[in-house]
Amino acid sequence: MPQHVAFADNSRLARNKTPKPRITKRVKDAIDAIVERGIAYNEAAAESGLTTRAMRLALERPHVLQYTLSYTVHEILAAWAQQQQRKQGQEAAEARRGG
């Protein structure tokens, strides 16, 4: 006689299902800082409360990489240009001070 338990025949299927990979808020915040403000990944990790190693390991995961690549090329290039302008400004200020 079959068991009269709901989903008794499908329980094996439910146990073998894996949840969709998720990205934590800290990792998302760090990636956003990297792309939008153009800072290094270790600085972004520290700002969002992650260790450098945890951030590096997160960036190796395929779903995190996909989130990173979801930014358009334009956004990435704009962030890079801002970073370069910031560096040039700092170098000019140092040259004026003691150069």
pLDDT in tens, 60-81: 999 998 888 887 777 778 878 8
pTM: 0.59
pLDDT band with cut points at 50, 70 and 90 for residue 97: confident
Kindly state whether residue 5 falls inside one of the protein's structural domains.
no
pLDDT digit string, tens, across residues 4-25: 555 555 556 667 777 888 999 9
Number of domains in the chain: 1
Is 7 within a domain? no
1: in domain: no
Structural domain that includes position 27: 23-97
Q: What is the pLDDT of residue 58?
A: 95
- Retrieve residue 12's tokens: 């094996």
Q: Is residue 61 one of the residues assigned to a domain?
A: yes
